Chains A and B, each alone.
Chain A
Amino acid sequence: MKKLAVVLLVALIAMTAVFAAGGSEAPAATAAKTTKIGFVVINDESDQGYTWNFTNGMNAAIEKLKAEGYNVELLTKKNTTESAICKDNNIELAEEGCEIIFNNSYGFEPYMLEAAKEYPNVKFVGMTNCAGQVDDNPNTFNAFAAIYEARYVAGIAAGMKLQQEINEGKIKPEEAVMGYVGAFSFAEVISGMSGFYLGARSVCPSVTMKVYFVGTWGDATLEEAAANALIDEGCKLISQHSDTTSPALAAQKAGVYHVGYNTDMTKVAPNASLLSSRIDWSRYFYEFIKNHIDGKENPSDWAGTYAEGDVKVTDLNTAIAAPGTQEAMDKAIAAFHAGTLHVFDLDTFTINGQKGTNETMYDSFAAVQGNATYDGYFHESELQSAPYFVGVIDGITWLNVAY
């Protein structure tokens, strides 16, 4: 009998422990229903670049939301192509009960919009695109960030390095040529590369730049070939608006410097890569999801800025950067915060020897049309978040075009 009593007692204690543990968690679990968030991405995070950067932002946002007691669950459709598969993936996430579906590639938007028509109660966000803002569907949204500001800051690091080489007599002032591996010759790339160039020229007045467009967002072989072609053309520093690290490797092999994109490339090219510029999507994801759960409105178009921390540069590779680089970058960053620095300041560049006008700078294919040229500078990313600066600045030579 005694034995049985002991066993029962132990069982009882064990059960109370279970119930106690369950009891403490139960209210939290039932109080907030789980909000499902969908994410349609191109490639997957193993690209260590574009999608990896998005995924990091999303994970950080979700962690923060969970810490604040928001119950969110993320469903991701990876390796989505810019085809009808994208529409299917959006439909699938909507069917699974996702309340918000983010799409991370420009080419997804037309297919996303098709799905948006069929699921009017689900919010669809076309990141880096622009149609959600202008269409009449209230459930479509857009977002981009002022990456040209981060490229401007990264350009300062590039310019400082070349100026150092000039000052040390290693190259002549006219030999300060940068090479830029661009994806396609359209606004997003042109705006970014112009920002990069103007940043470099703000600290290295003699610098010029050559651009080669590869005609794809990510192809390691083509990007490497483009970087090598630019190095053969005499470029002393390579930067890129493309998704893989192969230009960094090409620069490292050829003994020239490099400025990356999306991800810190100093690990793959420690002797070449100075730093990278990137977008930090976490604030956008966090605010959008939070607003949604709280029942608040979200902007149909959202543009992140340097001042708000939505675009940034990775840690400077101090082993190879020119002395004083961090200080020079900090000065520009402080000016972004103060609102006194504008990347496309009309006094800092010319187009065909003339001051830029709205006609020579504004992308006639942009979803939103208007005048962005006033108060002495070109107001990029203000009329719509997606870039629309397409001016061909003097000092930048296009080796080809790729649409």
Chain B
Amino acid sequence: MKEKNKTPLIRLAKRVKTDMMSPRKVWAIRIGSIVFAFILGMIPIIMAGQNPFQSYGIIISGALSKPGYIRQTVKRAIPLLGVALAIAPCFKMKFWNIGAEGQITMGAIFASAIAIWFQNSLPAFPLLMLMMLAGILGGAIWAFIPGFFKAKYNTNETLFTLMMNYIAIGIVRWLQGGPWEGRPGTQIIPMFSDKARLPNVFGIYCGWIIVLVLVVVVHIYMNYTKHGYEVAVIGDSENTARYAGMNVGWIMMRTMLLSGSICGIVGWMLVSGANGTLNADVAGGVGFTAITVAWLSQLNSFAMIIIASMLAIIGKGSATLQTKLGVPASVADIVSGILLFCMLGCEFFINYKLIFRKKSDKEVHA
């Protein structure tokens, strides 16, 4: 009898298929969370002594109101979208690849090696293609290593992929100050020649076309191929997959190879398109921000275009805000952090329900 009194005041329960929220309610929660985030975000802006409405206005106009702004915004969105596409298959499989940062960097290193060794001997097109293949190889190797150990020895992929990031970045630091350094003491790898640079289309390096193609490719791969189906089954239940006769280890390694390859493409585009050379900041946190992009889009390729653009707008707009009003960049970072937190956090209220204890011992569903 006493047991009943021990029912906690609030309980959590995961919603099951039968009592899912209606889509309208789901979207109301999502939009509500964005509104809530913007209200919460006013606090740091006011503390920095600025008018929040004016600040939000500048964030939007500072990202979109001029062709020059739009070019910079798109430039920010390209790697975010590319990497979100790369990690989506892993996450679908519940393989927590947080090593995109290192896989991008490794792809960038391999692509740079080709640029540095052959930029004086090869014509532009074969050089760029060779750089891309090298980038794919670099990213794939870096992703395969943790994939292999996970498949064979069940190592923790989260830690493994994370640690691989630091090694890759360390290698770039060594190259920057060592074999590839330009003038001794500068820590700078010289800019690649124009032959090793991706051409611009509409004023932005053509990486935006490449990622849009990837959106379609990944969408098809995930939804209309046997591989994609296998990934989904493993994500739902590894045991089911095994029972169905799937080679879970191989599928894991294969998916990591794919993920690393796409990251490698992004690394190649960054050195060859956006940056023009290699440095330790080549990934610049994209590998982590892209996780947010992938989650917010619920691993849907087309939704990733929207989410990546949105984050790029906030990023570029915040930079403009800092320039125009002198607001410290960190304040803008806090605001975008709040926004991401609320957007990710609201999924909790969509997937779980709160159950309140009632005095009469009858449960009420919130």
B interface SS class: loop
Q: Which bracket fits the contact residues of B?
A: 20 to 34
Chain B, residue nearest A83 (CB): B281
A172 to B329, CA, bound (A): 54
A219 in the interface, Cβ–Cβ < 8 Å? no
Q: A84-B274, A85-B284, A185-B185 are in contact. Are A92 and B323 (CB under 8 A)?
A: yes
B175 in the interface, Cβ–Cβ < 8 Å? no
Q: Which residues of B contact A85 (CB under 8 A)?
A: 281, 284
Q: A75-B323, A85-B281, A96-B323 are in contact. Are A187 and B185 (CB under 8 A)?
A: yes
Q: Whole-angstrom distance from the CB of B105 to the nearest CB of chain A?
A: 12
A95 in the interface, Cβ–Cβ < 8 Å? yes
Contacts between chains A and B (CB distance < 8 A), count: 82
Which of these binds chain A: B66-74, B117-125, B294-302?
B66-74
Q: A88-B72, A187-B185, A365-B184 are in contact. Are A114 and B274 (CB under 8 A)?
A: no
Q: Which of A75, A96, A189 has the most CB of B within 10 A?
A: A96
A113 to B72, CA, bound (A): 17
**Contact partner, B326, options A76, A79, A82, A215, Cβ 8 Å:** A76
Q: Which residues of B contact A113 (CB under 8 A)?
A: 191
Q: A83-B284, A403-B185 are in contact. Are A95 and B191 (CB under 8 A)?
A: no
A148 in the interface, Cβ–Cβ < 8 Å? no
Q: Which residues of A contact B68 (CB under 8 A)?
A: 91, 94-95
Q: A83-B281, A92-B323, A93-B323 are in contact. Are A107 and B329 (CB under 8 A)?
A: no
A388 to B26, CA, bound (A): 66
Chain A, residue nearest B329 (CB): A79
A184 to B191, CA, bound (A): 21
B183 touches A82 (CB 8 A): no
Q: A77-B322, A91-B68 are in contact. Are A107 and B281 (CB under 8 A)?
A: no
B277 in the interface, Cβ–Cβ < 8 Å? yes
Q: Which residues of A contact B186 (CB under 8 A)?
A: 106-107, 184, 186
A92 to B320, CA, bound (A): 7
B309 in the interface, Cβ–Cβ < 8 Å? no
A95 touches B279 (CB 8 A): no
Q: Whole-angstrom distance from the CB of B306 to the nearest CB of chain A?
A: 23
A185 to B177, CA, bound (A): 12
A81 in the interface, Cβ–Cβ < 8 Å? yes
B177 touches A403 (CB 8 A): yes
Q: Which chain B residues (328-366) contact chain A, with CB distance < 8 Å?
A: 328-329
Q: Which residues of B contact A309 (CB under 8 A)?
A: none
Q: Which chain B residues (176-193) contact chain A, with CB distance < 8 Å?
A: 177-178, 181, 183-188, 190-191
A110 in the interface, Cβ–Cβ < 8 Å? yes
A107 touches B188 (CB 8 A): yes
A186 touches B184 (CB 8 A): yes
B275 in the interface, Cβ–Cβ < 8 Å? yes
Q: A107-B188, A185-B185 are in contact. Are A92 and B319 (CB under 8 A)?
A: yes
A290 to B282, CA, bound (A): 38
B191 touches A110 (CB 8 A): yes
Interface string of A18-55 (1 = CB under 8 A from B): 00000000000000000000000000000000000000
A94 to B71, CA, bound (A): 13
Chain B, residue nearest A81 (CB): B281
B276 in the interface, Cβ–Cβ < 8 Å? yes
Q: Whole-angstrom distance from the CB of B146 to the nearest CB of chain A?
A: 26
B152 in the interface, Cβ–Cβ < 8 Å? no
Q: Which residues of A contact B280 (CB under 8 A)?
A: 83
Q: Whole-angstrom distance from the CB of B7 to the nearest CB of chain A?
A: 52
A92 to B274, CA, bound (A): 15
A186 to B187, CA, bound (A): 11
Q: Whole-angstrom distance from the CB of B204 to the nearest CB of chain A?
A: 12
Q: Which chain A residues (68-115) contact chain B, with CB distance < 8 Å?
A: 75-79, 81-85, 87-89, 91-96, 106-107, 110, 113-114
Q: Which residues of B contact A79 (CB under 8 A)?
A: 329
B69 touches A95 (CB 8 A): yes
B276 touches A91 (CB 8 A): no
Q: Whole-angstrom distance from the CB of A108 to the nearest CB of chain B?
A: 10
Chain A, residue nearest B324 (CB): A96
**Contact partner, A82, options B188, B322, B323, Cβ 8 Å:** B188
**Contact partner, A84, options B181, B281, B323, B328, Cβ 8 Å:** B281
Interface string of A348-367 (1 = CB under 8 A from B): 00000000000000000100
Q: Whole-angstrom distance from the CB of A398 to the nearest CB of chain B?
A: 13
**A to B CB contacts below 8 Å, 14 in the list:** A75-B323, A82-B187, A84-B279, A88-B319, A89-B319, A92-B323, A95-B69, A107-B187, A184-B185, A185-B184, A186-B183, A187-B185, A188-B185, A402-B185
A82-B279, A114-B276 known; 20 new pairs, CB 8 Å cut-off, are A78-B328, A82-B188, A83-B284, A84-B275, A88-B75, A88-B319, A91-B68, A92-B72, A95-B66, A95-B72, A107-B186, A110-B190, A114-B191, A184-B186, A186-B183, A186-B184, A188-B185, A189-B185, A365-B183, A403-B187
